[in-house]
Amino acid sequence: MKFNQFLPLVAALVLGSSCAPLEGVHLPIAQQAGSQLHKRFDNSTASFAKTANLQFDIDGASKYYPGTNSYWISFMTNDADVDSTFATLQENGLKILRIWGFNDVNEKPQEGTVYFQSFAGSEPVINTGADGLERLDYVVKSAEKHGIKLIINFVNNWTDYGGMAAYMKFFGGAQSADASNNSAWYTSTEAQAQYKKYIEAVVSRFKTSPTVLAWELANEPRCKGCDTSVIFNWASETSKYVKSLDPNHLVTLGDEGFGLEGDGSYPYTYGEGVDFVKNLGIKELDFGTFHLYPKSWGVSNDWGNGWVESHGAACAAAGKPCLFEEYGTETDHCTVEQPWQKTAINTKAIAGDLFWQLGVDTSTGKTHDDGNTIYTNSEDWKCLVDNHGEAIAQRNGA
């Protein structure tokens, strides 16, 4: 059963101030399900999110927030699938959704395939059409209707959906042929000018929408072997630029959280060109982000708890909240990830967590299973969404 005695709390979280039947807290569960839960979020009560007391203040409520990641939602072409995905998030109290706001291509895809920016012709082209940013428009609109807050990311370090390598393939230069070295992208005048154009195209569309929780500079930016000043300087410059376009929304980096004081294991080192604490000091970055993939990083699952705590301590010291923005494993999802969730909600300055990644049923079947996916109506979901939601409600003192 998805809903247990915790339901009234979920309902309160989801329905917010439009929740007249909160007296219903004492009603039998059966009478609460259905229509009330599908009640529309009252978008007119939404406001720009802020940070406060090392937490997110979302529509006037400052507390710990759960959420998840969906890279695919911006690329779906069926509106009903987008709506049903947001309805699922709303019903389950998953308040934050992190999405890809980029989709860069070097060759124009087949008709009907979504892409946002093309480097196929003689000039880069931002696709504002029906198979372009209009898909993102729909995602934002549906999020508004369901009261979900979005983190929208501008570029990928990885080559999925183009990424930094797509820019460099077009602009050329020393690293253009080496997709495994992004260092040139951060300092290329042409690449940065185009990246800023792209940022402006996205930000200007959603500047006034309170459903945007934050703009995110990149997905997992790394610059292996580079001095940490490369990413620091780029992040300083870009975050300032985003704030100049839109002073009302939060801005964050989207990094994995590498490079901070710790046990000296690989993720704590600075070899990927990232200095977590230094970057967190950038004035225009409102909160920190960090990810957790022990298997790819050659550390133990249990090590992850210390990783969460180290970031909490660094964020508290910086006076900014931090989001445990991605975490995943390919096996034993519940056993492995539940301890990380418990650590996160008990660690000062950790403001929320987003598991990687959301899995739902759509009109064309289940969404992508990358091994990490947590599907609705599964035992994993019960553990990592329902049980976690109960623990969060207790922690928030609801």
Nearest in space to 132 (alpha carbons), one of 108, 156, 98, 164 = 108
Task: Give min distance, CB of 165 to ligand NAG, in A.
Answer: 6
Q: Is 208 in the site for ligand NAG (CB under 6 A)?
A: yes
d(CA 326, CA 189): 31
Dihedral in degrees, nearest 10, Cα atoms 159, 275, 63, 11: 10
Q: Is 181 in the site for ligand NAG (CB under 6 A)?
A: yes
Q: Is 297 in the site for ligand NAG (CB under 6 A)?
A: no
Whether the CB-CB separation of 124 and 187 falls below 8 Å is answered with: no
Task: Give min distance, CB of 147 to ligand NAG, in A.
Answer: 10
Q: Specify whether 220 is catalytic.
A: yes
d(CA 27, CA 19): 14
Nearer of residues 132 and 210 to ligand NAG, judged by Cβ: 210
Which positions ≥6 away from 196 have C-beta within 8 Å? Answer: 238, 241
Q: Is 219 in the site for ligand NAG (CB under 6 A)?
A: no
Q: Is 192 in the site for ligand NAG (CB under 6 A)?
A: no
Work out whether the CA dihedral 192, 197, 201, 206 comes out positive or negative.
positive
Pairing of strands 212-216, 149-153: parallel
Nearer of residues 83 and 200 to ligand NAG, judged by Cβ: 83
The stretch among 13-21, 34-42, 175-183, 292-300 that binds ligand NAG (CB under 6 A) is 175-183
Among 62, 209, 236, 338, binds ligand NAG (CB under 6 A): 209
Nearer of residues 12 and 223 to ligand NAG, judged by Cβ: 223
Nearer of residues 45 and 394 to ligand NAG, judged by Cβ: 45
Using DSSP's 3-state secondary structure scheme, residue 182 falls into: coil
DSSP state of 362: E
Q: Is 224 in the site for ligand NAG (CB under 6 A)?
A: yes
Q: Is 207 in the site for ligand NAG (CB under 6 A)?
A: no
Q: Is 182 in the site for ligand NAG (CB under 6 A)?
A: yes
Q: Is 50 in the site for ligand NAG (CB under 6 A)?
A: no
Count the residues of the shown chain that bind ligand NAG, applying the rule CB under 6 A. 22
Q: Is 35 in the site for ligand NAG (CB under 6 A)?
A: no
The stretch among 13-21, 115-123, 207-215, 297-305 that binds ligand NAG (CB under 6 A) is 207-215
The string of DSSP letters for 275-330 reads -HHHHHT-TT--BEEEEE-HHHHT--TTHHHHHHHHHHHHHHHHT--EEEEEE--S
Task: Give min distance, CB of 227 to ligand NAG, in A.
Answer: 8
Q: Specify whether 326 is catalytic.
A: yes
Alpha-carbon distances of 180 from 184, 185, 277, rounded to whole Å: 11, 11, 25
d(CA 136, CA 163): 17
Interface positions with ligand NAG (CB under 6 A): 43, 46, 141, 144-145, 157-159, 165, 179-183, 208-210, 222-226
Query: Known catalytic residues?
Result: 220, 326
